[in-house]
């Protein structure tokens, strides 16, 4: 599964009148995404979004899943299935009568219940609605046993899944009829929807014979030579036809795993108001916190990046905005405090645009720093924000492969013990982390710290050390600010940067540790043995280096524990109850896991000495 991790595109629309809102100025259209499940928190968030109403139409995404679709997971869990277990496909909200028996009724009720509660709030606030979905989504095997003629392509990732999954074929009239029934139900219940965003051929979805399906092009023999665009256009028209009952149009935006040739063919046949990423997409200004790229940390924003996006170009027609606050496949979201600051920036720039160009953007940043830090500390905050922007530009250009979602969380670099011989850990010592590592092979999950979702990643020498140093200068500068109008927010951001730096440090330590382990595969494959008796002041250099890495990770973990115990847990996404912990979500007992990590590391501290020589004379 490619790491496109959807900051995604989307936003968009055609105005309309409905029972709960007035015709609004559509010079600007805002589509906002946030997978909040707490309805009181959602109401506060929706009120934040309503601040944008004077500037245009605001469509709020309302169909996030109420809970994980645990019924889809294979017995014993499934790595690839974790990707899709919070997906928002239409069948888990308004299933057709053919599908309904194969989806837990209680899950459907919970999903509809959450959607209806959100709908009530946005109606009260006069906001529009947006709907995201992965389509056509795979269905349970029992469904295809009942309706074998509807079986479409295999859509799972063979290298990341131990169980095959199939999506329905959109060349079958039965599939089209089934989807039309579900879409009609959706629009009859939620006529406020203006915008759709679809993810295709990825994260649980797929069309027959698409070139980049993970198991290769596949599907029923009968539709092998039919153009991919035909089935996609058929699905898009199903949604457009369903929307007619609302009396207003909809805009459909989509992206997915398509070759350039497929994109050309699809784009040439698109219905009106349907937009394919990379072809006929309109100009969209993306605005977000940094929760997606610093996950599991919350509370960090890059105002300079936001200002650049807001002040990029001057549109003569409708300007569309995509505001995203979602993280980790909808398992997490940004803090309301952070979102409030982001909306402050958007609102301010809509009222007083800075104008195009870097000089105007930097001038706007200086004004923002005065608002947030006061005249006395404005220059310090300005320098800190510029340095933050440079730090992440540097990371993106030199270490783009380092994802704290994939390395830190789904490979559990944050919480697993860093030891020279992980095979020596007992079953009890592995129990709190090994089941959550993303790997279809328990042996690879145990033995290879750098098996990232079935592949290895490399980093240039020295880049993480430099990036960490750049981050340190930022949070130390923020910590020196006093008596600022936004003091609490700035100090929380400094603490968030400390937490993120700790995660980066863990990822770097595991990377360097695995390099040493890779160099000593033959040594590790042999028996434990006493070192030679030849006197040496140095011993094995790899032993010295590994010991230094272990000590750094031990200290790093203690520093992280201190931060989390000092209120830092509010700045991290984690499971609110133990059973919600999974591959992409850290445990509710995160602090206790970190303490256990240190305890196990110390217990196994000398394991390396059974394979390499220590200094002695």
274 and 421 co-located in one domain? no
pLDDT tens-digit profile of 495-546? 999 999 999 999 999 999 999 999 999 999 888 887 777 777 888 999 999 9
Is residue 98 domain-resident?
Answer: yes
Number of domains in the chain: 2
81 pLDDT higher than 90: yes
> Cα-flanking dihedrals φ and ψ of residue 85, to 5°?
-70, -10
End residue of a domain, out of 255, 282, 309: 282
Cα→Cα distances 539→42, 122, 414, 446, 570, Å: 59, 68, 30, 27, 45
Q: Cα 187 vs. chain centroid, distance in angstroms? A: 28
End residue of a domain, out of 282, 314, 335: 282
Place of tokens 């936001």: 306
The pair of three-digit structure tokens given for residue 367, joined into one six-digit string: 């004004």
Q: Which of 110-124, 349-363, 418-432, 553-567 has the lowest mean pLDDT?
A: 349-363
**Residue 495 near residue 568 (C-beta atoms within 8 A):** yes
Is residue 465 domain-resident?
Answer: no
How far is the C-alpha of 604 from the C-alpha of 419, rounded, in Å? 7
How far is the C-alpha of 238 from the C-alpha of 186, rounded, in Å? 12
Select from 35, 13, 19 the least CA-distant residue to 120.
19
The pair of three-digit structure tokens given for residue 110, joined into one six-digit string: 């919970």
State residue 141's pLDDT score. Answer: 97
User: Which are the contacts of 96, defined by CB distance < 8 A and separation ≥ 6?
Assistant: 178, 179, 181, 182
How far is the C-alpha of 537 from the C-alpha of 266, rounded, in Å? 68
User: Which are the contacts of 84, defined by CB distance < 8 A and separation ≥ 6?
Assistant: 69, 72, 134, 137, 138, 203, 204
pLDDT tens-digit profile of 431-477? 999 999 999 999 999 999 999 998 888 899 999 999 999 999 999 99
Cα→Cα distances 542→420, 424, 458, 505, 523, Å: 11, 19, 19, 19, 12
* Residues paired with residue 480 on neighbouring β-strands, in sequence order: none
Query: Going along 201-312, which residue ranges are E strands?
Result: 251-256, 274-276, 284-288
Q: Residue 381's pLDDT band (boundaries 50, 70, 90)? A: very high
State residue 579's pLDDT score. Answer: 87
End residue of a domain, out of 249, 282, 315: 282
State residue 8's pLDDT score. Answer: 33
Select from 477, 510, 502, 503 the least CA-distant residue to 491.
477
How far is the C-alpha of 276 from the C-alpha of 251, rounded, in Å? 11
For residue 615, what is the DSSP state?
P
Is residue 5 domain-resident?
Answer: no
Mean per-residue pLDDT of the chain:
93
43 pLDDT higher than 80: yes
**Mean of pLDDT values over 168-172:** 97
The pair of three-digit structure tokens given for residue 551, joined into one six-digit string: 């000590």
Is residue 487 domain-resident?
Answer: no
Q: Which of 27-31, 229-233, 551-555, 577-581 has the lowest mean pLDDT?
A: 577-581
Query: Going along 188-264, which residue ranges are E strands?
Result: 193-200, 251-256
**Residue 539 near residue 614 (C-beta atoms within 8 A):** yes
269 and 396 co-located in one domain? no
One-character DSSP codes across 112-161: HHHHHHHHHHHHHHT-EEEEEEESSBPB-HHHHHHSGGGEEEE-S-TTT-
How far is the C-alpha of 233 from the C-alpha of 252, rounded, in Å? 11
Task: Please count the other Cβ atoms lying within 10 Å of the Cβ belonging to residue 534.
Answer: 7
Is residue 329 domain-resident?
Answer: no
* Residues paired with residue 456 on neighbouring β-strands, in sequence order: 451
Is residue 224 domain-resident?
Answer: yes
Is residue 341 domain-resident?
Answer: no
* Residues paired with residue 290 on neighbouring β-strands, in sequence order: none
Domain with 219, as residue range(s), is 28-282
CATH number reported for the structural domain that contains residue 216 in this entry: 3.20.20.80
Q: Residue 250's pLDDT band (boundaries 50, 70, 90)? A: very high
State residue 539's pLDDT score. Answer: 85
User: Which are the contacts of 52, defined by CB distance < 8 A and separation ≥ 6?
Assistant: 28, 30, 58, 343, 346, 347, 350
pLDDT tens-digit profile of 295-348? 999 999 999 999 999 998 756 689 999 999 999 999 999 999 999 999 999 999
**Mean of pLDDT values over 161-166:** 94
State residue 534's pLDDT score. Answer: 79
Is residue 342 domain-resident?
Answer: no
409 and 535 co-located in one domain? yes
């Amino acid at each position: 599964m490619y790491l496109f991790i959807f900051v995604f595109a989307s936003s968009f629309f055609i105005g309309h009148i409905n029972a709960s809102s007035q015709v609004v100025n559509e010079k600007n259209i805002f589509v906002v995404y946030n997978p909040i499940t707490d309805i009181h928190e959602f109401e506060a968030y929706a009120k934040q979004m309503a601040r944008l109403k004077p500037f245009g139409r605001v469509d709020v995404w309302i169909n996030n899943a109420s809970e994980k679709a645990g019924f889809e997971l294979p017995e014993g869990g499934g790595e690839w299935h974790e990707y899709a277990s919070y997906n928002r496909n239409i069948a888990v909200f308004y299933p057709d009568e053919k599908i309904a028996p194969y989806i837990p009724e209680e899950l459907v009720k919970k999903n509809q219940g959450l959607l209806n509660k959100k709908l009530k709030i946005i109606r009260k606030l006069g906001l529009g609605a947006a709907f995201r979905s992965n389509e056509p989504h795979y269905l349970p095997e029992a469904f295809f046993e009942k309706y074998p003629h509807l079986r479409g392509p295999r859509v799972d990732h063979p290298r990341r899944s131990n169980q095959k999954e199939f999506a329905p074929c959109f060349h079958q009239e039965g599939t089209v009829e089934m989807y039309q029934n579900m879409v009609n139900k959706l629009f009859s219940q939620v006529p406020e929807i203006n915008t759709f965003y679809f993810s295709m051929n990825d994260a649980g979805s797929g069309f027959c014979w698409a070139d980049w399906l993970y198991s290769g092009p596949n599907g029923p023999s009968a539709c092998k030579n039919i153009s991919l665009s035909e089935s996609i256009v058929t699905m898009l028209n199903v949604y457009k036809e369903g929307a007619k009952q609302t009396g207003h149009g909809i805009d459909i935006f989509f992206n997915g795993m398509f070759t350039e040739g497929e994109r050309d063919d699809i784009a040439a046949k698109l219905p009106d108001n349907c937009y394919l990423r990379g072809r006929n997409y309109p100009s969209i200004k993306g605005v977000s916190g940094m929760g997606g790229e610093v996950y599991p940390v919350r509370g960090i924003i890059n105002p300079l990046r936001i200002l650049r996006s807001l002040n990029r170009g001057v549109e003569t027609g409708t300007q569309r905005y995509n505001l995203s606050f979602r993280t980790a496949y909808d398992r997490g979201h940004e803090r309301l405090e952070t979102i409030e600051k982001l909306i402050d920036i958007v609102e301010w720039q809509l009222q007083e645009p800075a104008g195009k160009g870097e000089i105007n953007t930097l001038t706007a940043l200086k004004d923002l720093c005065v608002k947030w830090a006061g005249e006395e500390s404005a220059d310090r905050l300005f320098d800190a924000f510029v340095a933050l922007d440079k730090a992440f530009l540097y990371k993106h250009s030199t270490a783009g492969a380092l994802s704290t979602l994939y390395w830190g969380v789904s490979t559990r670099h944050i919480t697993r013990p860093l030891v020279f011989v992980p095979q020596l850990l007992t079953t009890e010592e592995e129990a709190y982390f090994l089941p959550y590592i993303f790997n279809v092979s328990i042996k690879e999950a145990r033995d290879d710290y750098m098996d990232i979702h079935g592949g290895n990643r490399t980093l240039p020498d020295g880049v993480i050390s430099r990036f960490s140093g750049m981050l340190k200068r930022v949070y130390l500068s923020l910590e020196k600010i006093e008596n600022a109008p936004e003091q609490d927010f700035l100090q929380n951001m400094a603490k968030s940067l400390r937490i993120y730096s700790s995660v980066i440090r863990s990822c770097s330590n595991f990377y360097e540790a695995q390099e040493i382990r890779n160099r000593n595969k033959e040594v590790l494959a042999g028996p434990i043995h006493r070192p030679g008796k030849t006197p040496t002041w140095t011993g094995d250099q790899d032993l010295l280096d590994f010991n230094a890495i272990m000590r750094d990770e031990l200290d790093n973990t203690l520093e992280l524990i201190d931060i989390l115990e000092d209120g830092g847990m509010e700045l991290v996404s984690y499971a609110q109850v133990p059973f919600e912990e999974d591959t992409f979500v850290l445990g509710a007992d995160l602090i206790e896991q970190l303490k256990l990590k240190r305890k196990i590391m110390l217990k196994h501290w000398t394991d390396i000495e059974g394979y390499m020589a220590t200094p002695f004379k």
